Structure 1
Amino acid sequence: MAETQTPQDNPKTQNSLLKHTLVIGIAMISGLILGLLCNAYGAQIQITKHSNLIQFITQASDLVVHLFLRLIKMIVAPLVLATLVAGISNVEDTGTIKRIGLKVILWFVAASFVSLAVGMIFANIIKPGVNFTKNLPPTNMAAHSDYHFDVAKFILHIVPDSVMDAMVRNDMLQLVVFAIFFGMALANIPGKSAQLFKDGMDTLGKIMLKITDMVMKIVPLVVFSSLLSIATQNGISIIEKYGLYLIEFYSVVLIMWAILIGTSYLMIGKKTFRLLPFISEPVLVGFATASSESAFPRLLEQLTKFGVSPKISGFVVPLGYSFNLCGTMVFLSFAAIFIAQAYNINMPLDKQIMMLLVMMISSKGIAGVPRASMVMLAAVMPSFDIPEAGLALIIGIDQFLDMARTATSVLGNGLVAAIANEWDLKDQARKQSQETLSS
């Protein structure tokens, strides 16, 4: 698996990622400073008869941000459908998968749920969205009525009447259900024609990723516009609020790190602390570039140096990049509840749990997508009466959020690879022991 990813280890690729991060940082600072100046002096500058500079800047900036959100929504449905179908239909049943595959997948499911739960619990305790700002991105609040969970309606809603209708509405849960059935059926059809269809779905996924790359090229402009709009409307007070939000989220991330390292210690003991220096470099690379892919080759190399079998790491780490994004999971629930709190939307416990389950399932379809968390939030939140327009509140600082998310996911995948290797060694030792006794 490492050989297929070596382009990510190219110094030019990493330099490009670092430059992109630098550009986003410059856009953040520029948008913030210009917004503060506009807030201080914009009311005195008349642009037209009916608007001053503050109103003009706000409208123009919001246009850029909402255009970006529409572009994100445009790619969600075909991207999720293609990547899930391609991934499920091309699963190969190897000896390694037979021995540890089920354990690893169960670990991924448990880790995802715990990560989402951590984000949800601390968002309810800290309440980061309460009184965050009075100038919220506009949305149709009439659509966000009081929620009442109906088990029968939810079960019926899981299965789409029409996959085309689900795609039009970007109903993530229904798309995932259809993709699972479709992928499993395709995997069980032999022959060249079925393989051609698998290759076609894989190609469609790659095409959608390319489109995603095109859309993400305007992220610096979106970051600039978002912070410009928010700072123009709120003034100097927004620095304190965003600073506090970052401190709160990074505190939750540190708690997640403690849980991951503590769980690893329970599984493999002191080996955990011997492993951490080996994977510290890829974790830092992921943090600096906000890209899990940039850390992928180095993570595999460092795991091999630590003593993890390349056969194990080559299976677990790529799978983890699709199913074990702990950093993304903890952010999804934290950010969604933050936006709901900002809009004063009622989020009872049953509604939050349903949202967590949908996030856990549907997030597996967009692994490797740049700014996947934004894509995921934009897709899931409307189903739970949370306006996707609220993403504008965090787009401006998403680079800092993404750095923490990425580092957490890299750490989690490095730890689970070492744990899986320990499982494999124990299984082999048990087999040898049985063979010795039988002989």
Structure 2
Amino acid sequence: MKKFGLATQIFIGLLLGITVGALFYGNDTAMAVLQPIGDIFIHLVKMVVIPIVVSALIVSIAGVGDIKTLGKLGGRTILYFEIVTTIALVIGLLAANIFHPGTGIDKSNLEKSNISTYEATAKTAESGNIADKFVHIVPSNVFQSLAEGDILAVVFFSVLFGVGVAVIGEKGKPVLQFFDGVLDAMFWVTNLVMKFSPFGVFALIGVNVAKFGIASLIPLVKLVAVIYGTLLFFVFVVLGIIAKMSGTSIFVLIKVLKDEVILAFTTASSEAVLPRIMDKMEKFGCPKAITSFVIPTGYTFNLDGSAIYQAIAALFIAQMYGVHLSIPEQITLLLVLMLTSKGMAGVAGASFVVVLTTLGSMGLPIEGMAFIAGIDRILDMLRTSVNVLGNALAAIVMSKWEGVFDKEKAKRYIDFIKKSKAA
């Protein structure tokens, strides 16, 4: 495997996983063998994410040391996220209205999956109000937030701690050096973990194909086609325009993040690539202070792929049950999705739960989601890759907006990638 690059190794793992899963469809023994391998990889990834986010934020914020600059960056970042996410939701709703993926679906031909766990989570989320979502950002116990992987609460604490380290001056230097060392060490660990990724991808894909079978896609092929087509349109048109306005190209960004996009696609986990995106965007010319703040925050506020999926899935259920939603009702749906999607960070199957919560609040039949639960993994794969690209591009946009993007560094890194490929 050493002859091949990481992207090639992951792709081989994907193909082998699909093949093995198809051969052992419905075989519980095969799934029991593969599942631990996939679980180990996901655990390894989760193990490195929080230490990297915490140390990177503290090092970068303490390096900035200016609360006004930080506040300005935070305000601009949230504004950008809200605009792009709203565009993603609107495009999702338009696609569902144009292509009608749920019209004419025969529910009797669809296999129903158990979604009781998701329903319980959705009911808990529905019971909270907007104020609760803001309260949740501030951790009552930072160690509990660290243990639960609550990214937004961790970001909030790390930013405050970084400001504190900067303000105390000389006394803060040993703390800064400590976290700088932690950051370097964790990047080394991340590179080690990534060497295991082809095996993790093989196991994760193998289990899903063995569990649901490729045949589960057939009745819902139109839904998959509409969601995939819309996601690709968003990447190459919307993100492409934003990239062009930022002085770069979406194709260059994809080339830079090729390994990470493929890994995000195959594992359906954006956490798996968070440390490497931060590292690569810094090498691409974005300052550490920008990447360390913008990218982790984007994992809560800037999930463009998930937004498109949520909009299409909600209208798919309405269409499948023959419920017509007027334009005012669809605007309400848009606003509800904007709110519910922000409160689901760190929740397992977050996008799925967002749709359930939205359906419940709109009076639509939530049991309809049971019909697409079996193929949610297939839908999750591309929407995760789009989330990754959207957040990486956000770091470039913010760096340009702040006037600190290093064009020469970006050019050197692109030249380095080209030489590495040639070698």
Is the structural similarity TM-score above 0.5? yes
Task: Note the C-alpha offset of 1:271.
Answer: 5.8
Which of residues 104, 129, 138 in structure 2 aligns to 1:131?
104
Task: Note the C-alpha offset of 1:416.
Answer: 0.7
Identity of aligned residues (%): 30
- Aligned pairs (5 A) from 1:354-365: 354-365=332-343
Query: 1:227 and 1:344, CA in 2 relative to 1: closer, same or farther beyond 3 A?
Result: farther
Distance 1:408 1:303 in 2: 16
The yes-or-no answer on 1:314 pairing with 2:292 is yes
Letter in 2 for 1:117: V
Distance 1:129 1:302 in 2: 40
Matched-pair contact (CA < 8 Å) for 2:317–2:368: yes
- Which range moves more in the overlay, 405-414 or 277-286? 277-286
- Aligned pairs (5 A) from 1:344-423: 344-423=322-401
Query: 1:23 and 1:96, CA in 2 relative to 1: closer, same or farther beyond 3 A?
Result: farther
- Alignment partner, residue 312 of structure 2: 334
- Alignment partner, residue 5 of structure 1: none
Which of residues 80, 85, 99 in structure 2 aligns to 1:112?
85
Task: Note the C-alpha offset of 1:256.
Answer: 0.8
Once the two structures are superposed, residues 331-362 of structure 1 have per-residue CA deviations (whole angstroms, 9 ceiling, x without a partner) of 00101111111111121121121122111112
SS at match of 1:308: coil
Task: Note the C-alpha offset of 1:251.
Answer: 0.9
Distance 2:353 2:99 in 1: 25
The size of the alignment, in residue pairs, is 307
Which of residues 294, 298, 302 in structure 1 aligns to 2:280?
302
Task: Note the C-alpha offset of 1:382.
Answer: 1.6
Distance 2:403 2:309 in 1: 34
SS at match of 2:123: coil
Distance 1:284 1:252 in 2: 19
Which of residues 182, 185, 202 in structure 1 aligns to 2:145?
202
- Which range moves more in the overlay, 418-427 or 386-395? 418-427
- Alignment partner, residue 175 of structure 1: 128
Letter in 1 for 2:77: V
Letter in 1 for 2:123: N
Is there any run of 5+ residues in structure 2 with no aligned partner, and where? 1-8, 27-57, 113-119, 151-203, 407-423
Alpha-carbon RMSD: 4.2
- Which range moves more in the overlay, 266-275 or 304-313? 266-275
Task: Note the C-alpha offset of 1:122.
Answer: 0.6
- Aligned pairs (5 A) from 1:37-436: 94-135=67-108, 170=123, 172=125, 175-180=128-133, 182-183=135-136, 197-199=140-142, 202=145, 205=148, 239=218, 241-270=219-248, 274-425=252-403
SS at match of 1:132: coil
Task: Note the C-alpha offset of 1:203.
Answer: 6.7
SS at match of 1:386: coil
Matched-pair contact (CA < 8 Å) for 2:228–2:382: yes
- Alignment partner, residue 80 of structure 1: none
Matched-pair contact (CA < 8 Å) for 1:222–1:396: no
SS at match of 2:402: helix
Distance 2:233 2:77 in 1: 23
Distance 2:73 2:315 in 1: 35
Once the two structures are superposed, residues 47-98 of structure 1 have per-residue CA deviations (whole angstroms, 9 ceiling, x without a partner) of xxxxxxxxxxxxxxxxxxxxxxxxxxxxxxxxxxxxxxxxxxxx99945532
Task: Note the C-alpha offset of 1:272.
Answer: 5.3
Task: Note the C-alpha offset of 1:378.
Answer: 1.8
Query: 1:427 and 1:331, CA in 2 relative to 1: closer, same or farther beyond 3 A?
Result: closer
- TM-score calculated relative to the size of structure 2: 0.61
Query: 1:183 and 1:390, CA in 2 relative to 1: closer, same or farther beyond 3 A?
Result: closer
Task: Note the C-alpha offset of 1:176.
Answer: 3.7
Return the index of the structure with the highest Cα Rg: 1
Query: 1:399 and 1:171, CA in 2 relative to 1: closer, same or farther beyond 3 A?
Result: closer
Distance 1:25 1:94 in 2: 54
- Alignment partner, residue 180 of structure 2: none
- Alignment partner, residue 155 of structure 1: none
Distance 1:25 1:377 in 2: 31
Task: Note the C-alpha offset of 1:425.
Answer: 2.0
Task: Note the C-alpha offset of 1:253.
Answer: 0.8
- Alignment partner, residue 170 of structure 2: none
SS at match of 2:348: coil
Is there any run of 5+ residues in structure 1 with no aligned partner, and where? 1-14, 35-90, 139-166, 188-194, 208-217, 232-237, 429-439
Letter in 2 for 1:253: L
Distance 2:122 2:343 in 1: 17
Once the two structures are superposed, residues 252-296 of structure 1 have per-residue CA deviations (whole angstroms, 9 ceiling, x without a partner) of 111111233333235312365544421232122111211101111
- Alignment partner, residue 175 of structure 2: none
SS at match of 2:128: helix
Task: Note the C-alpha offset of 1:383.
Answer: 1.6
Letter in 2 for 1:330: I
Task: Note the C-alpha offset of 1:180.
Answer: 4.1
Distance 2:134 2:292 in 1: 27
Query: 1:21 and 1:324, CA in 2 relative to 1: closer, same or farther beyond 3 A?
Result: farther
Distance 1:365 1:251 in 2: 27
Letter in 2 for 1:99: K
- Alignment partner, residue 159 of structure 1: none
Query: 1:263 and 1:336, CA in 2 relative to 1: closer, same or farther beyond 3 A?
Result: same
Distance 1:352 1:172 in 2: 21
